[in-house]
């Protein structure tokens, strides 16, 4: 055989081997997904078998137990609700959750932001006597809660890394001796996992029959599948192991089925009653805007939106990808007459606190933050949340945008999307569990020009769809979508990528675009026929999106 022919054979074999390798990777990925699903179903089956009843879902308790019926503590509960908390009537699921806790059951609560989760454990804490332990992830959250409860005349304390000696002494004595009134004690998860002294005092409190309830706030932090995993939350299983008879309530605003299963397993509460409220936030208007490649134009658009829609200093948040971007955009907004300041993890705690306080007291209209501006934001009247860049997942976006409108009044969530932002995020999430899969979910959300934005959340959280009532851009504005066949162009791109790979070269999206244009003159002719495609290919490096023309250009929808 001639050497040329051998070379050719070798090359062909290489191509075939690469193809086989591709198929193997795809199969392994598929196998992983099947294993994952299998373990999800097994956990669910275990939980069902253990509770002996179907798991309660949207709006209620299990089929057998009726948590809405009359209980002996009803009138006492009504009295405390009204006279201590000043709340005239329960919101959806609150009464049922309180009843389940009062009967001594472990409970898992999934209730949207602003739904009223705190009352669900604070009211039983008042009714049950003894001390309720609350584990909460953030100092600021704990401080807010303790201050709020103190204002209501409830004896609430906290033990955190910042607690003074006197406070610590009081709490330990109250736990050990039970002489002083200690109704609700807030701690960070580190206290449980790292302080032997604290755990020994808690044990004494329990042995004296005074530990009446354990509440795990922001419980999604237990799960690596959740969006805010905290390693110390993993060790909270010790609470159920040491105090198996004390009821535990775990609360979170969001948890997919996978996260719920994980929580139940990690906190050792297989027989818990589950209350899952809808993720729907009917007062939020969701929209996605095309983000210009010119940074200045994006800020112009944001500033104009704020000026026109919220001229009375109504509060808002602008989320950015990086710290540098936060500082830049806060400055740009100020230049355009908007009262804005930045917030990110690189600032010292005092500075962050100052900015947060100014914003909370309406002395600053807009906080421009990274994801560090997250849990612990309790401001109820945030009227708009703007994402200058896309979030890393649907769950993160739901949480971040959900900081708008906790008071139930109409509010807006706008995401500025351009394909060029995707690679920035993908390099960040690459090593996270299902990181890329999660990212592509939100990219699909952004790219959709016709599907209801709200229904994307329902799908993501495995909930039946509900009416959007025109509260998203795709439902409110009729779009005319023109489908364009880009198969030939796609094939061209794939062959270019394969060629690059075969030669073991590295190219950026932008270089690939240039290469394509140079190599295939014909492509240019087609590209110029599709200007939008051209713009995306050149500026953003992504290909093949449908070209869309809006009939009506009212980006603010009907709010």
Ligand X SMILES: Nc1ncnc2c1ncn2[C@@H]1O[C@H](COP(=O)(O)OP(=O)(O)OP(=O)(O)O)[C@@H](O)[C@H]1O
Residues lying near ligand X in the complex (CB under 6 A) = 87, 90-91, 94, 111, 113-119, 253, 380, 406
Nearer to ligand X, 137 or 247 (CB): 137
Please, what is the minimum distance in Å from the beta carbon of residue 91 to ligand X?
4
Residue (249 or 333) nearer to ligand X, CB? 249
Q: Are 304 and 86 in contact (CB under 8 A)?
A: no
Task: Identify which of residues 101 and 111 has a Cβ nearer to ligand X in the complex.
Answer: 111
CB of 253 to ligand X, least distance (A): 4
**Please, which residue, 387 or 406, has the CB nearer to ligand X?**
406
- Residue 125 and residue 84: Cα distance in Å, rounded? 12
- Closest CB to ligand X among residues 115, 557: 115
Residue 52 tokens read as: 């002996």
- Which three-class secondary structure state does DSSP give residue 419? coil
Which has the closest alpha carbon to 545: 492, 499, 482?
482
Reported as type and span, the H/E element at residue 30 is helix 3-51
Task: Give the CA distances from residue 444 to residues 362, 438, 460, in Å, rounded to whole numbers and listed in that order.
Answer: 35, 10, 12
Quick one: 117 or 418, whose CB is closer to ligand X? 117
CB of 210 or CB of 383, closer to ligand X: 383
SS3 135: strand
Contact between 555 and 289 (Cβ < 8 Å) = yes
- As a whole number of angstroms, the distance between CA 239 and CA 219 comes to 14
Provide the minimum distance between the beta carbon of 374 and ligand X in the complex, in angstroms, as a whole number: 11
- Minimal distance in Å, beta carbon 100 to ligand X? 17
SS3 341: strand
- Any idea what the Cα angle at residue 329 is, between residues 323 and 334, rounded to 5°? 130
Kindly state the smallest distance separating residue 507's Cβ from ligand X, in Å. 44
User: Three-class SS of residue 247?
Assistant: coil
Cβ-closest residue to ligand X?
A: 116
Decide whether 121 or 157 has the Cβ nearer to ligand X.
121
Q: Judged by CB, which is closer to ligand X: 114, or 189?
A: 114
CB of 68 to ligand X, least distance (A): 15
Q: How far apart are CA 56 and CA 261, in angstroms?
A: 14
Rounded to 10 degrees, the C-alpha dihedral 13/19/20/24 comes to: 160
Shortest distance, position 109 Cβ to ligand X, whole Å = 9
Cβ(107)–Cβ(273) under 8 Å?
A: yes
Give the shortest CB-404-to-ligand X separation in angstroms: 11
Helix (H) or strand (E) holding 43: helix 3-51
Least CB distance from residue 72 to ligand X, whole Å? 21
Q: CB of residue 22 vs ligand X: minimum separation in angstroms?
A: 43
Mind giving me the DSSP string for 474-522? HHHS-EEEEP---HHHHHHHHHHHHHHHHTT----HHHHHHHHHHH-HH
Copy the structure tokens of residue 552.
Answer: 């009506």
How many C-beta neighbours within 10 Å does residue 286 have? Answer: 27
Q: Which three-class secondary structure state does DSSP give residue 67?
A: coil
Q: Which is nearer to ligand X, 360 or 539 (CB)?
A: 360
Instruction: State in angstroms the smallest separation of the CB of 264 from ligand X.
Output: 20
Smallest Cα–Cα separation from 331: which of 342, 323, 321, 322?
342
In the complex, the smallest distance separating the C-beta of residue 403 from ligand X, rounded to whole angstroms, is 8
In eight-state DSSP terms, residue 552 is S
What gap in Å lies between CA 265 and CA 199, rounded to an integer?
22
Nearer of residues 344 and 403 to ligand X, judged by Cβ: 403
Q: By C-beta, is 87 or 293 nearer to ligand X?
A: 87
**E strand intervals along 40-86:** none
């Amino acid at each position: 055989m001639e050497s040329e022919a051998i070379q050719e054979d070798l090359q062909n074999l290489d191509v075939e081997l690469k193809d086989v390798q591709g198929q193997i990777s795809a199969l392994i990925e598929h196998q992983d997904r099947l294993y994952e699903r299998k373990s999800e179903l097994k956990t669910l089956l275990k939980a069902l078998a253990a509770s002996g009843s179907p798991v309660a879902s949207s709006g209620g308790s299990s089929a057998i137990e009726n948590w809405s019926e009359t209980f002996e503590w009803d009138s006492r509960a009504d009295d405390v609700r009204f006279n201590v908390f000043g709340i005239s009537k329960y919101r959806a699921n609150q009464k049922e959750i309180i009843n389940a806790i009062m009967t001594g059951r472990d409970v898992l609560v999934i209730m949207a932001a602003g739904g009223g989760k705190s009352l669900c454990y604070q009211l039983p804490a008042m009714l049950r006597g003894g001390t309720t332990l609350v584990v909460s992830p953030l100092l600021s959250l704990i401080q807010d809660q303790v201050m709020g409860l103190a204002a209501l005349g409830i004896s609430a304390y906290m033990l955190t890394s910042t607690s003074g000696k006197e406070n610590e002494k009081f709490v330990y004595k109250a736990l050990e001796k039970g002489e002083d009134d200690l109704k609700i004690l807030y701690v960070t998860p580190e206290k449980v996992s790292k302080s032997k002294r604290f755990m020994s005092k808690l044990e004494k409190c329990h042995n004296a029959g005074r530990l009446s309830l354990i509440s795990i706030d922001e419980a999604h932090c237990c799960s690596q599948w959740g969006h805010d995993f905290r390693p110390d939350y993993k060790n909270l299983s010790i609470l159920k192991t040491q105090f198996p008879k004390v009821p535990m309530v775990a609360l979170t605003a969001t948890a997919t089925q996978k996260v719920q299963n994980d929580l139940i397993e990690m906190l050792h509460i297989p027989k818990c009653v589950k209350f899952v409220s809808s993720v729907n936030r009917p007062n939020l208007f969701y929209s996605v805007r095309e983000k210009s490649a010119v940074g200045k134009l994006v800020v112009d658009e944001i500033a104009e939106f704020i000026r026109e829609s919220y001229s009375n200093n109504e509060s808002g948040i602008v989320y950015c990808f990086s710290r540098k971007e936060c500082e830049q955009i806060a400055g740009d907004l100020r230049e355009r007459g908007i009262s804005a300041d930045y917030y990110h993890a690189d600032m010292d705690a005092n500075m962050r606190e100052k900015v947060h306080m100014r914003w909370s007291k309406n002395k600053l209209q807009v906080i421009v933050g990274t994801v560090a501006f997250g849990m612990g934001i309790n401001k109820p009247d945030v009227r708009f949340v703007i994402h200058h860049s896309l979030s890393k997942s649907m769950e993160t976006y739901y949480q971040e945008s959900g900081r708008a409108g906790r008071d139930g009044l109409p509010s807006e969530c706008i995401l500025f999307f351009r394909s060029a932002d995707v690679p920035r995020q993908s390099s960040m999430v690459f090593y996270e569990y299902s990181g890329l899969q999660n990212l592509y979910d939100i990219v699909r959300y952004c790219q959709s020009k016709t599907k209801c934005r709200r229904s994307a959340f329902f799908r993501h959280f495995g909930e039946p769809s509900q009416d959007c009532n025109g509260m998203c851009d795709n439902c409110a504005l009729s779009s005319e979508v023109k489908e364009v066949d880009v198969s030939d162009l796609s094939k061209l791109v794939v062959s270019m990528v394969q060629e690059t790979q075969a030669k073991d070269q590295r190219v950026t999206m932008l270089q690939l675009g240039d290469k394509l244009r140079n190599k295939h003159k014909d492509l240019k002719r087609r590209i110029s026929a599709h200007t939008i495609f051209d713009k995306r290919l050149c500026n953003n490096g992504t290909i093949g999106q449908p070209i869309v023309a809006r009939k009506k250009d009212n980006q603010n929808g009907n709010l």
